[in-house]
Amino acid sequence: MNILGFLSAAILLTLMPGPDILFVITQSITRGKKAGIIFACGLCTGLIAHTAAVSLGLSLILYNSPVAFSVLKYMGAAYLIYLGVKSYIHRKENSLALPSATGVEYKLYRKGILMNILNPKVLLFFIAFFPQFVSPTT
């Protein structure tokens, strides 16, 4: 495995702002640094799930099965619609302060995991990107 090539490419791609990074920035600005870090940790945990799926070959099932990929795609879309509706319903609330209720950190962490796991673009990226750095003979 070309670990240096993979790490340098992964770092460069991580530094490019995408929807996940923009959401981390939004959480950091509106709820504070701690909320942004917790959400980013959730996103990284979701990446672990994608990495495991690729290394176990599960991602090839999604790649070769239009039905399975469509199910994942629609689950992701439904989750984003849910988040949008929830934000619209609670738009009058003060979103600048992190609520004092216990478990808020867990909710942010869980939201990060779900956003990443249900994002089919991340899975397609892993299918296309990760195998380039793995040697099948090792």
What are the DSSP calls for 10-65, one per residue?
Answer: HHHHHHS--HHHHHHHHHHHHH-HHHHHHHHHHHHHHHHHHHHHHHHTHHHHHHH-
Confidence of residue 49 (pLDDT cuts 50, 70, 90): confident
Confidence of residue 109 (pLDDT cuts 50, 70, 90): very high
Written as six digits, the tokens of 59 are 């991602």
- Mean confidence (pLDDT) of the chain: 78
- Asked if pLDDT for residue 41 goes beyond 90, the answer is yes
Q: Are 117 and 49 in contact (CB under 8 A)?
A: yes
Share of the chain above pLDDT 90, in %: 7
**Residues 15-44, buried b or exposed e (16+ Cβ, 10 A)?**
eeeeebeebbeebbeebeeebbebbbbbbe
The stretch 58-83 carries a mean pLDDT of 80
Statement: the pTM of the whole predicted model exceeds 0.75: no
* 115 vs 92: which has the higher pLDDT: 115
